[in-house]
Amino acid sequence: MKEYQRKQLLERVGRDGSTVGVQLPEAIDIQGEVLDLQSFVFEIKRRETVPPGERERVDQAKRNLRRERTERLGQIEDNEVSYEEGEELAESIIGIDRALNALEQLEPVDLEAEAQRQDAADQKRWTMFLKKALGHTDSSRRGGR
C-alpha cells in the first residue's frame, strides 16, 4: 500500500469519534479463538454493572481486545498488508474500539484518573499538532536531538 493510504487508515482509526454510529462486530477472531462479541457486550451491558462473578471475564475480554487491537494496528503501521486488507483491519479496529467503549462504560469512573488520561491525550495531540505545524515529523527529521 502507498504511504498516503497507510496514513489515511491510521488517521481514520485514531480519529476521535470514529466509533460513532459503528455497529459492534458480531464475532471477532482473537488469537485463534472466536468471541461472539456482540452478544457478549449486549449481555454484559444489559446488566448495567458488572457483577462480581463476571468481572474477571470482562477484564480478560478487554485485555484480549486491547491486545488484538494493538496487533491489527501494528500490521497497518508496519505496512504488512495491502490497502484492501488495511481497510478491513481499520474497520475491525474501530469495531473493537466500539466494544471496548461499551465495556469501559460499565466500570465505575475514577474521575481523577480519567482527568489525567484526558490531559495526557490532549498533550499528545497538541505535541503532534506542533510537530506537524513546525515540520518536525519523523520522515523529515535528520539526526536526533
How many CB atoms within 10 Å of residue 54?
A: 15
pLDDT of residue 95: 87
**What pTM, to 2 d.p., does this model score?**
0.64
Q: Which residues of the chain have pLDDT under 50?
A: 109, 140-145
pLDDT of residue 32: 78
pLDDT of residue 48: 65
Maximal C-alpha separation, the chain: 54
pLDDT of residue 141: 47
Q: Give the CA distances from residue 63 to residues 15, 24, 54, 68, 126, in Å, rounded to whole numbers and listed in that order.
A: 22, 17, 14, 9, 28
pLDDT of residue 140: 47
pLDDT of residue 137: 65
